[in-house]
Structure 1
């Protein structure tokens, strides 16, 4: 038995499986023996098959299952192009009442995320009069920082209040660095002579949950801020990523969806003095370069392009 075969057999044994001579030969002749073995072992474990002898039939079953994945995933989806999108009914006058309505709606939506996570919220005034610890939610109005603490002024639709955040607690201080004006956040706090003192800050991110997904084993890749056309565009790194996407590596082959989440191009007139930062001075040049890059992506990958604030599209007001 060759050294490579011994390594494969040992790797399988470590995870509770044995390799037949035929299976070992197929894996060795695949051109990527370690990757293929790991894929088969993971497939068996996910299927609930434990302590099995891996023979030729099992290897062939795995290969067939991967072909079915490709057939399921590579499905042509007809493109729908809106040549002249209508913004009828989306305009605003820019009045203070419209801004207030928007901010309250935004606050209520973000508050509901915390409530769905089981956080028991209470009014700030009520907590400031109590002896225990509780949770308050509000929108950040302004922040003032000192050496050992920061004061966060908060508001909700009915009142304003302040929260003192001690910075001696390194964990709390690191979390507090992410708190910015206009964010909706929750503070776990207690009252000290009527002032709320924070012991934790919770951001409205989505709660982690275990997925019950039983579909094909595929990857979705999300990238953003490529900024083609800028003198600071990392062209070499972007090209390396595209080369990887088209390679035969296992994870690259499983990638079936690529989401470009904004700022594919750097745009023009986005900020004062931008012309000095541009290697490509027009949208036409930038999108031509972008199109050439996107054209190199394998056909098995569906590309979803979401515009950002550097793309030539309508600006939402107020900004979300």
Structure 2
């Protein structure tokens, strides 16, 4: 019976015009539980999955007993501490909640700004109204209005709990003008300058920013971390072959000896959201789905993740395509849908955004990683003039830098959907060592003040919609970081 089924598998390949790899044919012949393989193979055909050599390999891997992994003994075991992960508030929201939300943002960022010598003793805006003409003042507030005067100067309105005041920045101060012009509404900033009639003539403009003296933290041992995002399992644009190449590489089944030695040093896989394509994300999405059942999408990504060596800890935050609310902060993956993923013994689930500490051993503090899927980045890439002029969505490194400088993941009201929680969890109050995001389907790593900003790529083909917009995704690429050196290499599987 099995021989007949093997002929049927080969016949399917021939009908699809696919030349079957001899090595795969040998694997098929040696499968001890061929009936199980055949059943899974037929299931994929029934679901409309495009069958390739790599698809067959993944089916074989699913039913093959887990091998005994051989990680590098020079590298310590994975160790993860969740420093912060949002737990969903159950509440009815009112206008007062939004007021409290922005008030909390103001107080958090004011505390950061006051660490600067120039802003250590700011006056409230209510006090500034009673200051004498040309008196030097320092103020901190949220930007609630911004415009150019007819003379080309920048004038914006600052607000704190005691009132509002105009602030003018001269176009003649080009460096100050450029920084202030890029700032968006709702950002918290500091200014110093001279008081005029209900106005401050600014001579300095401060962002919360990252201290320039931040330490570049490295691990004592050569542990490695790998970063992925936007896998979108369930989409008919999902890159099966590239993904399966990645999984086989991660299992040290392919690659040179040097590459296999590197794989044995990997202890962490950071997954920045959009595990699955989701269902009902946009109109007529069912036409773009290879797997139309959201539960089966999570079952499939769980099967893929289960193939990763168990000495690698997988740290996951959700994205806007995952089965949950879009409003940020997003809680951890819902067990109702993602239980097969959450049941994996080497998975750590956090919210979006979320913060973890990894590889703290023998007195070493480890590295703090901030995970944020990146929903706000499209808005910021399009709206911030400097970023837009330098490449927009192709320069997500500039967007991530922008967020770090503002110490906020979505600095302006329109940049993302959010809930007015008791505190603004999108404020970056704890400075990370690594900041990882996805969403834009671009790949790269840039250092800003000793923070590694990692863009984790995607596993989808370039869509017609992206081509029309002139966007250039970089699918099938994976950033790999040596935590001992903090150097990053981008691996290509496509």
1:158 and 1:103 map into 2 onto residues whose CA distance is 14
1:142 aligns with 2:145: yes
Q: Is the 8 A contact 2:144 2:157 kept in 1?
A: yes
Q: Provide the residue aligned with 2:96 in structure 1.
A: 97
Instruction: Give the Å deviation of 1:303.
Output: 0.8
Q: CA deviation at 1:169?
A: 5.5
Counting only pairs closer than 5 Å after superposition, residues 81-230 of structure 1 correspond to structure 2 as 90-116=89-115, 118=117, 119-123=119-123, 125=125, 129=131, 131=134, 135-145=138-148, 148-166=152-170, 171-172=175-176, 174-176=178-180, 178-191=182-195, 194-198=198-202, 201-207=205-211, 208-210=213-215, 215-229=220-234
Q: Is the 8 A contact 2:279 2:286 kept in 1?
A: no
TM-score normalised per structure 1: 0.56
Question: CA deviation digits over 1:152-187, x for unaligned, max 9?
Answer: 322111111233345565644553465222232334
Q: Aligned with 1:180: secondary structure?
A: coil
CA distance in 1, matches of 2:287, 2:202: 43
Deviation at 1:206, TM superposition (A): 3.8
The structure having more radius of gyration, on CA atoms, is: 1
State whether residues 134 and 188 of structure 1, in contact with CA within 8 Å, keep that contact through their aligned partners in structure 2.
yes
CA shift for structure 1 position 305: 0.6
Residue 95 to residue 161, structure 1, CA distance change in 2 (3 Å):
same
Is contact 2:78-2:311 (8 Å) kept?
yes
Q: Is the 8 A contact 1:127 1:190 kept in 2?
A: no
Larger relative helix fraction = 1
The secondary structure found in structure 1 opposite 2:144 is strand
Q: If the length of structure 2 is used for normalisation, what is the TM-score?
A: 0.39
Structure 2 residue aligned with 1:308, among 290, 315, 319?
319
Does the 8 A contact of 2:166 with 2:198 survive in 1? no
> Which digits, 9 at most, give the CA deviation of each residue in 1:179-220, with x for residues without a partner?
222232334544466533445544334435225766434344
1:264 aligns with 2:366: no
1:59-78 Cα offsets, whole Å, 9 max, x none, are xxxxxxx95542x2247x8x
For residue 108 of structure 1, report the CA deviation from its aligned partner. Answer: 1.2
Note closer, same or farther for the CA distance 1:116–1:279 as it changes in structure 2 (3 Å cut). farther
- Distance in 1 (alpha carbons) for counterparts of 2:141 and 2:179: 16
Unaligned residue ranges in structure 1 (runs of 5+): 1-65, 78-85
Equivalent-residue separation in structure 2 for 1:149 and 1:241 (angstroms): 53
User: What are the equivalent positions in structure 2 for 1:234-273 lying under 5 Å apart?
Assistant: 248-249=258-259, 254-270=265-281, 273=283
Structural RMSD (CA): 4.4
- Which of 420, 431, 444 aligns to 1:318? It is 420
Q: Could you say what secondary structure the match of 1:110 adopts?
A: helix
Which SS does the other structure have where 2:108 is aligned? helix
CA distance, structure 1, for counterparts of residue 173 and residue 236 of structure 2:
41
Is contact 2:280–2:286 with CA below 8 Å preserved after alignment? no
Residue 304 of structure 1 deviates from its aligned partner by: 0.7
Structure 2 alignment gaps of length 5 or more:
1-70, 81-86, 330-418, 426-494
Q: In the aligned structure 1, how far is the partner of 2:293 from the partner of 2:181?
A: 37
For 1:231 and 1:134, the matched residues in 2 are separated by 59
**In structure 2, what is the Cα distance between the partners aligned to 1:146 and 1:220?**
50
TM-aligned CA deviation for residue 96 of structure 1: 2.5
Contact 1:111 1:137 in 2 (8 A): yes
Question: CA 1:117 to 1:74, structure 2 compared with 1: closer, same or farther past 3 Å?
Answer: same
* Alpha-carbon separation, structure 2, partners of 1:183 and 1:284: 40
**Distance in 2 separating the partners of 1:161 and 1:222:** 45
Per the alignment, in what secondary structure is the counterpart of residue 279 of structure 2?
coil
228-237 vs 161-170, greater mean Cα deviation: 228-237
Rounded Cα–Cα distance in structure 2 between residues aligned with 1:231 and 1:146: 51
